Amino acid sequence: MSTDGYFSRKKEVAPLESAFNDLLKAYRLEGKFREKSLVHDWSLLVGKTIADRTTSVFIRDKKLFVKLSSGPIKKELLMNKSKVLALIDKEYGTGVIVDLVCM
């Protein structure tokens, strides 16, 4: 079996973050990883007030669906939709989320 090619190991030492990013690229999981990170970090992204009134967060077809238990918070989030999308683009990369849907 040849040691050259796709399955060969790199000889040089790489930082863990770099190696992890290479692994995500190799398996084409970058987008999915960013989506999962966004859902996990929702409370850090929007703050305690909105996070406490959020009952569900999920992503489908590059749309972020957020279910809220408070009407005024829902309206406030919809009014600031462009700011939230800009913050997501800044933190997680452009194109991860294209729309925000509040339920």
Domains in the chain: how many in total? 1
**Does residue 85 belong to any structural domain of this protein?**
yes
Name the token pair of 89.
């683009």
Q: How confident is the model at residue 5 (pLDDT cuts 50, 70, 90)?
A: low
Residues 72, 74: Cα–Cα separation, whole Å: 5
Name the token pair of 78.
């919809």
Q: What is the pLDDT of residue 1?
A: 47
**Does residue 57 belong to any structural domain of this protein?**
yes
Do 45 and 38 form a contact (C-beta atoms < 8 A)? yes
Please report the beta strands in the chain, taking only residues with DSSP state E, as ranges in sequence order.
Answer: 54-60, 63-68, 99-102
Residue at 34: amino acid letter = R
Q: What is the pLDDT of residue 21?
A: 87
- The model's pTM is 0.80
Range of the domain at 46: 31-102
**Does residue 8 belong to any structural domain of this protein?**
no
Nearest to 41 by CA among 102, 97, 2: 97
pLDDT in tens, 26-85: 998 999 999 999 999 999 999 999 999 999 999 999 999 999 999 999 999 999 999 999
Q: How confident is the model at residue 12 (pLDDT cuts 50, 70, 90)?
A: confident
**Does residue 49 belong to any structural domain of this protein?**
yes
